[in-house]
Each structure stands twice: as structure tokens, then as C-alpha cells.
């Protein structure tokens, strides 16, 4: 049995999410009304995974997440609304250690939450198998990256270099991209095309966030455009180039 803690300030949302996981038959469920209760129940209930709302009274989800990751790290799936502000907060949560996120289809209180039932179940189950980053693991990853990115002898390439890098990601993608893309050097010789399963509302904020931490220029693709070396392209709906 998997122990899950559902954190949301809406009693209705807690009820609907509880029903979703109860129907699976292999979850032991506890709920919390805000970030403060989430911190307490993370220690007392000791869940295997947490779904964490962002906008809550007393203590919001981002603040609670920072405490959770410091006191008793556990896989966390953020639950946010489809707004630009929600997108920025979600990426901050992923940077703090959240494994993934789910967007509420109908805003803060989503009566139609069942529309994304399969996505919620899938991401929560995947989160329980996630390996949380530890300081030792982060150090090892950094060392391995330094080996990979160590400059190699220059190779002779044709003037017309038509190579490019394609990255396709879904579950856990934003967090993974925030670890990989900032490691690409400013003189990276190819354009990078990223197809990320993400609501259109989120892609602009995500591109802006990556642009602030990457040496390469990061842009959102919302219209046909040529691709150039030294640029990372975040797909919005359908990526087209010529």
C-alpha cells in the first residue's frame, strides 16, 4: 500500500482527490488543509508521496515544500492552476525539489478534476519511484557532466552545419531540463529543440525562466521561425521551422 498525503485548502478538492485515489484500491490516504498541516503530517503520517497545492492560507505550498525537503524529503507532485503566476510558482517548486506537477483543469477549485484523473494517478505513481536528489548525488552528477562537457579537440565540420539536438520529455521533464540545459556552454554548436508536454500557458514562463539560467538564448516557439545555433527552442503547440 502507498501512503499519500493530499494537501489542498479546498475541502471539495480534498474530497475529489481522495475519491480518485480511493478508487485505485492501493492507497492509504490522509489530507491536510494548508502548508503548515502538511509539514506536521509529513512527520507524523510519513507519506510515501504528497500532492501539494500552491495557493493556500497560513502557509503556501512553496514555503511548505522547502520545509518538507529539509526535514523529511519525500516525492512531491505540485497541483497548480493554469495561470502565468501558477506557472512561475510551479517551476520554483520543481527547483526546490518537487518531482512533477499537475495543472487543475478548472482553476483553483476544479469540479472537472476527473478529466485528468489518469494523469494524476500516473504522475503520483511515477513520483513514488523517483530518486530524490541528495548532496552526494548532485555532486556525482556534476562531476559526470564536467567529464562529458570537457572540451574535446576541434573537429573539422562543413560550413553548412545542419545538425541539431532534439529533446522530447514528459513526466518530470521541467525539472530535468532545468538540470541539463544550463550545463550547455555558450558556444554550443547546434540549435536545441525541446518538445515538452506542457500546457500552452506554461511554456512562455518556462522559456523565460530557462533563459535566466542558461548560457544559451532560450525562446518560446509560437510561430514558424528559422532555427539558429546557440538557441534553445521551447515548443508551444507545434514546432515548425524552415
Domain spans of the chain, in order of start: 2-128, 160-235
Q: What is the pLDDT of residue 5?
A: 97
* pLDDT one digit per residue (tens) for the chain, 242 residues: 999 999 999 999 999 999 999 999 999 999 999 999 999 999 999 999 999 998 888 899 999 998 999 889 999 999 887 555 667 788 888 878 888 888 887 666 667 788 889 999 999 999 998 866 544 444 544 555 555 455 545 444 444 567 888 888 765 677 778 888 888 998 888 999 988 766 666 778 888 888 888 999 999 887 788 888 889 998 764 433 33
Q: d(Cα 50, Cα 37) in Å, to the nearest integer?
A: 12
Q: d(Cα 5, Cα 7) in Å, to the nearest integer?
A: 6
Q: What is the pLDDT of residue 203?
A: 78
Q: What class, spelled out in words, does domain 2-128 have in CATH?
A: alpha beta
Query: Which residue, 136, 202, 133, 134, is CA-closest to 174?
Result: 202
Query: Max Cα separation, the chain?
Result: 63
Same fold, 2-128 and 160-235: yes
For domain 160-235, give the CATH number.
3.40.50.180
Amino acid at each position: 500500500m502507498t501512503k499519500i498525503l493530499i494537501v489542498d485548502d479546498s475541502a471539495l478538492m480534498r474530497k475529489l482527490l481522495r475519491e480518485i485515489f480511493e478508487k485505485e484500491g492501493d492507497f492509504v490516504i490522509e489530507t491536510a488543509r494548508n502548508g503548515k498541516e502538511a509539514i506536521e503530517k509529513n512527520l507524523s503520517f510519513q507519506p510515501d508521496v504528497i500532492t501539494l497545492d500552491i495557493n493556500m492560507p497560513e502557509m503556501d505550498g512553496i514555503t511548505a515544500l522547502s520545509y518538507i525537503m529539509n526535514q523529511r524529503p519525500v516525492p512531491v507532485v505540485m497541483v497548480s492552476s493554469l495561470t502565468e503566476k501558477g506557472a512561475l510558482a510551479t517551476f520554483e517548486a520543481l527547483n526546490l525539489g518537487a518531482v512533477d506537477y499537475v495543472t487543475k483543469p478548472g482553476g483553483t477549485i476544479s469540479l472537472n478534476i476527473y478529466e485528468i484523473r489518469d494523469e494524476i494517478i500516473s504522475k503520483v505513481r511515477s513520483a513514488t519511484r523517483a530518486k530524490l536528489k541528495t548532496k552526494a548525488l548532485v555532486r556525482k552528477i556534476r562531476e559526470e557532466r564536467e567529464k562529458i562537457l570537457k572540451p574535446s579537440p576541434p573537429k573539422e565540420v562543413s560550413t553548412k552545419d545542419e545538425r541539431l539536438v532534439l529533446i522530447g520529455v514528459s513526466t518530470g521533464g521541467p525539472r530535468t531540463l532545468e538540470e541539463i540545459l544550463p550545463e550547455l556552454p555558450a558556444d554550443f554548436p547546434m540549435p536545441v529543440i525541446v518538445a515538452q508536454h506542457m500546457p500552452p500557458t506554461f511554456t512562455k514562463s518556462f522559456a523565460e525562466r530557462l533563459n535566466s539560467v542558461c548560457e544559451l538564448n532560450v525562446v518560446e516557439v509560437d510561430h514558424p521561425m528559422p532555427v539558429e545555433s546557440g538557441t534553445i527552442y521551447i515548443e508551444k503547440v507545434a514546432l515548425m521551422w524552415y
